[in-house]
Amino acid sequence: MKFDFVDWGLIDFQTAWDKQKELVKEVQQGGKSTLVFCEHPTVITVGKNGSADNLTKSEEFYKENNIEVIWINRGGDVTMHNPKQLVAYPIFNLADFKQDLHWFLRKLEDCVIDTIAEYGLEGDRFEGYTGVWLEQQRKICAMGLHCSRWVTSHGLALNVANDISEFDYIIPCGIKEKKVTSIQSELGTYIDIEEVKSFLKSSFINKFSN
């Protein structure tokens, strides 16, 4: 396998970001690419293209509900992480795969599309935006990357069984007219995130082994 795999479980976002930075340095210095899975306690992150206008609640509201708002160096706008959302951070040296960020994003989308197909859901793309959608109306997976010396960080957030109502605290990805959904919301039945992890990991192995 061209990459190692680690599952950090439920981990504070800032702690995970610090660990990502350490991994990036290791990979840049010749270490093996690593795929990280984790979940985060409820947190809002704002990417390089983000705007405070897409935060729909007051600063006091976020503080009262113990929700951090963290500005980070990935691409994209504002998103929400919360428990039972599967976050994948591929710390990949694209020199070992293909030095093309557009190609890499499409591969990540393919991994998610294959994963949700295991549940009978047909994922697709929405022109002009990254991520995976259902019927180009409901976003089930958000994506945002940072790349330094061809080593990627950050990645994707697949809504599995997380609390979708918390996305009302933001305008997800700055897109007002679209909704957010999850595998569990779509199917109306309990979804085991460990099973989803297994499917997504297999898809990564399949897509990034050649």
- Residues serving a catalytic function are 173
**What three-state secondary structure class fits 17?**
helix
Residue written as token pair 């790349």 = 147
Within the chain, how many helices (H) and strands (E) appear? 5, 11
End-to-end CA distance of the chain: 9
- CA 167 to CA 164: how far, in whole Å? 6
Q: Residue 30, class by beta-carbon neighbours within 10 Å (0-12 exposed, 13-18 middle, 19+ buried)?
A: exposed
Beta carbons within 8 Å of 58's beta carbon, 6+ residues apart: none
